[in-house]
């Protein structure tokens, strides 16, 4: 069966309703990361010693892209699960892209894995915040209840 059940109902959400918004979130995150790479690159180049800040700028760009993937995926798919799937897609893409470089990653192995886990956590945070903002969502989709102010 290709459905995810909503609440206690018998009807479900199809796979396309989950994965298409998730892929849209990854696409927006890729566009945001390209823009941030140019902006951070220009800012780093303007400093006295740009080599010191290149790694920090690239990690900042990847973290912002992860947050964006989760946020946009959740807003577009109207559920927290779409944002988490979007963040997982981006994490897999970043992990696969790390094998393309010949000199290895910017961080040593344990820190690199920790950063990837943190980037995925940022995408989950983005999905959570997007689901808390409300707005349009699929009928019957689970929603995190808002915290009441005292």
Q: Where are the domains of the chain?
A: 13-133
DSSP-derived 3-state class of residue 16? helix
The pTM score is: 0.74
* Cα separations in angstroms, 15 against 3, 20, 77, 99: 6, 8, 11, 29
CB of 135 closer than 8 Å to CB of 82: no
Cβ-based neighbour number of residue 125 at 10 Å:
16
User: For 54-92, what is each residue's pLDDT tens digit?
Assistant: 888 888 998 999 999 999 988 888 788 888 999 899 888
User: For 92-110, what is each residue's pLDDT tens digit?
Assistant: 888 888 777 766 566 777 7
Please tell me the distance from the alpha carbon of residue 146 to that of residue 131, in angstroms, as a whole number: 10
Please tell me the distance from the alpha carbon of residue 64 to that of residue 42, in angstroms, as a whole number: 17
CB of 69 closer than 8 Å to CB of 25: yes
């Amino acid at each position: 069966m290709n459905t995810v059940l909503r609440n206690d109902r018998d009807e479900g959400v199809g796979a396309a309703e989950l994965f298409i918004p998730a892929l849209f979130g990854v696409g927006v995150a890729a566009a945001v990361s390209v823009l941030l790479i140019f902006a951070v690159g220009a800012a780093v180049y303007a400093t006295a010693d740009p080599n010191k800040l290149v790694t920090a700028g690239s990690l900042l760009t990847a973290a912002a892209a992860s947050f964006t993937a989760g946020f946009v995926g959740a807003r577009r798919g109207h559920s927290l699960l779409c944002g988490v799937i979007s963040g997982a897609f981006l994490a897999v893409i970043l992990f696969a892209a790390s094998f393309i470089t010949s000199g290895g990653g910017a961080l040593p192995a344990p820190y690199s894995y920790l950063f990837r886990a943190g980037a995925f956590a940022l995408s989950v945070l983005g999905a959570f915040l997007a689901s808390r903002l409300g707005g349009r969502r699929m009928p019957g989709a689970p929603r995190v209840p808002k915290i009441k102010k005292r």
